[in-house]
Structure formats: structure tokens, C-alpha cells
Structure 1
Amino acid sequence: MANHDPISDMLTRIRNASEKRHEKTKVPASRMSLSIAKVLQSEGFIAEINEEGEGFRKQLILGLKYTGKHRSPIIRSMQRVSRPGLRIYKNTRGLPKVLGGLGIAIISTSNGVMSDRDARKQGVGGEVLCYVC
């Protein structure tokens, strides 16, 4: 079956793997998924990013992070905002703050994919892809 929303698929795979306490998860590679993974890594939500395979079979292997003795996941919630049927765009002043600044919103801007904090610093708006906290 064709995947019509690869970003949502990526977020679901990460969410499911972290709930099951997996060390790593695989997601189909694309430029967008790699950009989102880099933002998650720079914000401290995932540990590592590796690539596997060649051509259209390339996959990203994401190392997930946990905290504490009981290994509770760092990623508690991932929510897709803009979707293929309803795109959500915000300007600089309209960028959301997730959990009062404790979480991040991942924004696709003309300067690339970045967190809401970076977008505010650069003074750019864009498409709100997802919330992570």
C-alpha cells in the first residue's frame, strides 16, 4: 500500500518504538525525514542518526533516548499538525510554543527545516510540521 504521508509515518514509527522501549528504529529515508531527524537530534530527543541501504531502499536508523532507572522515553508526545489535506502555515509572530517552551514545534521554512526557537531567532515563518514534547 502506498504511503501518502511519509512524515506522519516517520512520527508514528518513532512514537511506537519509544513506547516499546526499542533502542533503535528504522524509517524510510528522504530529505525531509533526514531534516526532521537532524532537528530532533539537535534538540536532544534522539541520540544518533545512521543511514542504511542504497537508492530508493535507503533507510534512516534512529537511536532513541531514554531517561531514568525505568527507562522512560524522552519523547512523550509527537503530534502531526500540518497534513496533506490541511496545510498549516504560521508567520514569525504566530509560531506556537509547545508546553510553554518545554517542547518544540518543527517548522519547514524557506531556510530549511528547523525548530520553532530557531525560526523565531531568524525571523521566519513557515509550515508547522509537528509538535514534539
Structure 2
Amino acid sequence: MTTDPIADYLTRIRNAVLAKHRIVEIPASKMKKQLTEVLQEQGYIRGYKVCSKKDDVQSTIKIALKYNSFTKEPAIVKLKRVSKPGLRKYSTVATMPSVINGLGIAILSTSKGIMTDKEARKMNVGGEVLCYVY
């Protein structure tokens, strides 16, 4: 059995949004930190903090989720994992996906780091399509 840390990351955020939690705690890794930075840059989360534990226990990322102050609707409506360990999905600049005609974002893992589809088009790089967020 293989584990998929990115799917676990997305599922934890999805479950916290559905349960209307303000903060979600996720085990940290370099890729998860980069995904969290992209989500904050794009305005899908309020903020995050990396908390290191003592006694050689894995550090965690605390993510403050974002909600509309009037309607209480979450900023993240849907998170969808695209590339999976059993079936990787790659995209070139020409075949880059557009999520809801540009209203959402596709997060890619490229040779230049983790970035959105729009940034990848500007930098003219392709890569593995990790997930869709809208």
C-alpha cells in the first residue's frame, strides 16, 4: 500500500472546510509548505504557521481557513486531486488546464518549483498537475 501525502493534505483541508473549522493542523513537509504558500498567495487561506515539535516529532502546519465574513461561505469551494501515485498527469504549456475558465487555479509541480497554472504559462514551463482549487 502506498500513501499519498498530497491527497491527505487536501482531504484534511476539505474536511475542515466542511466542518466549518477555523484552523486545521497538518503534518509538515517541504511540498506541503509550498502548496500552503501558493494557497495563501492566491487568497484561498487566511494564513499559516509552521510549528516545530520537540523530541524529534514531525513539525506541523497550522492553516487558518478563510471564510466570507457576511455569508460564512468558505473561500475554498472544491479541492480536487488530479495526478495520483498510480497515474501521473503531466502538462505542457500548450496543454495547460484552465480551471473554470480561469476562475480557479491548477497547482503544478514544475522544475522551477510548485506554482499555479498562470505562473507556469508566464514562465513557459510545464509539469505535473497536482490539484485543482476553486
TM-score by length of structure 1 reads 0.95
Question: Aligned residue for 2:24?
Answer: 25
AA aligned to 1:62 is I
1:53 offset after TM fit, Å?
A: 2.4
- Long gaps (5+) in structure 2: none
Percent pairwise identity: 45
Q: Deviations over 1:88-130 (max 9, x none)?
A: 0000111100000000000000000000000000000000000
Q: Give the aligned residue type for 1:96.
A: P
Q: Does 1:53 align with 2:52?
A: yes
Per-residue deviation at 1:20?
1.2
Q: What is the SS of the residue equivalent to 1:25?
A: strand
Q: State the AA in 1 paired with 2:133.
A: V
> 1:66 aligns to what SS in structure 2?
coil
Structure 2 partner of 1:106? 107
**Could you say what the CA RMSD is over the residues aligned between the two structures, in angstroms?**
1.3
Alignment of 1:1-133 (within 5 A): 4-54=3-53, 55-133=56-134
Q: For 1:15 and 1:48, locate their aligned partners in 2 and report how far apart those are by CA, in whole Å.
A: 16
Change (3 A) 1:56 1:7: farther
Change over 3 Å in CA distance of 1:70–1:3 after alignment to 2: farther
| Partner SS state of residue 22, structure 1 | coil
Q: Which amino acid aligns with 2:89?
A: I
Matched residue type, 1:27: I
Q: What is the CA–CA distance in structure 2 between the aligned matches of 1:33 and 1:9, rounded to whole Å?
A: 10
Letter in 2 for 1:47: R
CA shift in 2, pair 1:28/1:107, >3 Å: same
* Aligned-partner residue type, residue 49 of structure 1: Y
Tell me by how many angstroms 1:70 deviates.
3.1
Aligned residues: 132
